[in-house]
Chain A
Amino acid sequence: MSPVASPVIVVIEDDPAIRLFLRKGLGAHGFKVFEAELGRQGIVEASIRKPDLIILDLGLPDMEGVAVIKAIREWSAMPIIILSARSAEQHKIEALDAGADDYLTKPFGLGELLARIRVEMRHSVSSPEQDQSGIFMTGAMKVDLLKRQVVVGDRDVHLTPIQYRLLSVLIKNAGKVLTHQYILKEVWGPSYRDNSHYLRIYMSQLRQKLETDPTQPQYLLTESGVGYRLKV
């Protein structure tokens, strides 16, 4: 084994069976897992274990998930992945806007969880735009962030300024879910927060230019009821 310490994850979840599955599943993939049943306990664990990532269930008996996120965000930017029930989109959005980094809807598989964790761990180490080369690549898409050039396959793609800004916000957060609110604020500024249809129209234009088939997108994925995600 490598001498590097295993990454630490704190799981805040009241259901013992889910905790068991996370402990065993994540343990088998080289993570050291600490558990908390309640929100208050979870905040303490998050401060003393110095975890690389937190997994937080939104349905805790003692406090709102959003309150836990806010408490942790007062002193740490560590990645937080939330677990939530289906048809609770509003709760997911609130948690993401409060500072959570991504979410999973129960029931979920270990594979999906590991993929989310990998994206978060990568982001907390370095962001793609800080890469030496300044080049972002996924699938057949290549974006040169210094020269502002976009290539799909062997095709040069010309983007309008807003389309490019939208794409660069997605690249900066590649692999992560972004809420409509967040993207609107980043691309258009705070006064456009209620114009979700702007975003949808530009996203559709971007898909027309970047995707082979916009109805079967490979890169620009919609997270229904929540936002968008650039697939990596």
Chain B
Amino acid sequence: MAMLTVGVLISNLTANMRSQAKVAGHRERRATVLYAMSRDMTAGQSEDEIVRSAVHHLYSEFGSRNVILFPDVNGRIMYPTGRAIPESLQAADRSVAQWVMDHNELAGQGTHTLPGAEAVYFPLSNKEATLGVLVLLPVNLRRVFLPEQQKLLETFLGQIAQAIIRVRLTEQARKAQVEMEAERLRNSLLSSISHDLRTPLATIVGSASALVEDDNALKPEDKLELSRAIYDEGLRMSSLVNNILDMARLDAGAVELNKQWYPLEEIIGTVLTRLQKRLAGRRVTVKLPPGIPMIYADAMMVEQVLINLLENVLRYTPEHSTVEILAKASASTVEISVADQGPGIPAGCESKLFEKFYRVRHEAAQSGVGLGLAICRAIIVAHGGSIRAQNRPTGGAEFSFMIPQGHTPPVLGQEQ
């Protein structure tokens, strides 16, 4: 009898120990699974990344295909778009998911609501709101609804919801930042435009009114002077408006490059002809190494870059000072520089110069919206090149831009 009692006791104890060991084993495994899951949930940088790894973890833990569905802006559950996830469930019922979304309650197989559905639908929610619905197609219902397993699934859902909220908040903050930046740009554009367009407009309206309301009091030379002011300011406005429109077109990506092979001297020649009147009185030296290859570019765009650089020289350097246009070629690039003898660039401004609406001195008499160099940079970047500003060791500023050649320039055969 004693033997029997001891035997039963021991056997009970062993069974108990075995079951305890089993439970401990389960617990350890669950801890590992949870750890892996929570590590991925914290590391995920985007909603897509989080959803992907969640689906993967759910599949490996519960052996069930599954999918997470989210509502659109109107709260209507949508099927996922984009790259399919290998473990993803394809046959979720959107109307069941919608019910779960709206009621924030469990539904589907093994539940009290819509038990006829093939899959189980879990709300994915935090305290404030339902974010979406997890649809799980159980291979074995017990594996999902065992108390331990259900607890694990709830923890999973909690972590997924938290991770999604986290990336959504980050994204919101980033968007707000971008919007703030855009707002700042808009404001700066508005203040630039209103100042720079109003000034010439004031001259035009004022001078024109003096001419219109003239009761023969104006001397002919006065009339001429007023007319000339209207003409000059009109031209200035025209160039400002062109700059603003160019920048808008470049920003919108609406510019298609018409790249062809051009001799550099033709591009420079066009620019110098165009600026001939305004450059009169300056010494312009062009130094092109003999045999410099043609460049593969959109000529009108590159001309615009040179015009903007030369207009800056006209604006910021003393009259009668020399301006040099230099070029050099390497095997795969051509570099063109415009160098002046002006005051140079204030230290630390070299890269800020190319930002939109940046001006070294703000309300200076020099006209300009601060778009010239930003346009240059946008054009050169569109060509796959780069542009930089630096002070010359001998004084003055130098702006250089590099354009990659892509392929070998064409050469003509000898004429017969």
Contacts and interface: CB of A to CB of B under 8 A. Distances in A.
Interface of A: 86-87, 89, 107, 109, 160-162, 196-198, 200-201, 203-204, 207, 213-217, 221-222, 224-225
Nearest to B276: A216
Nearest to B273: A221
A222 B266 contact: yes
B234 interface: yes
A215 B288 contact: yes
A32 B274 CA distance: 32
A200 B296 CA distance: 13
A222 B260 contact: no
A198 B415 CA distance: 12
6 contacts: A162-B415, A201-B294, A207-B265, A216-B272, A221-B270, A224-B303
B268 A224 contact: no
Contact of A215 (B238, B272, B299, B415): B272
A207 B272 CA distance: 15
Contacts of B288: 215
Give the contact-size bracket for chain B: 20 to 34
Interface majority SS on B: helix, strand, loop or mixed? helix
A222 B273 contact: yes
A197 B415 contact: no
A215 B265 contact: yes
B261 to A, nearest CB: 4
A221 B276 CA distance: 12
Contacts of B262: 200
B284 interface: yes
Nearest to B234: A107
A168 B274 CA distance: 25
Given A215-B272, A216-B273, A224-B299, A203 B266 contact: yes
Given A160-B415, A215-B268, A197 B294 contact: yes
Nearest to A217: B269
A217 B261 contact: no
Nearest to B238: A107
Contacts of B265: 204, 207, 214-215
B250 to A, nearest CB: 12
Contacts of A109: 231
A216 B284 contact: yes
B365 interface: no
A198 B412 contact: yes
A221 B300 CA distance: 14
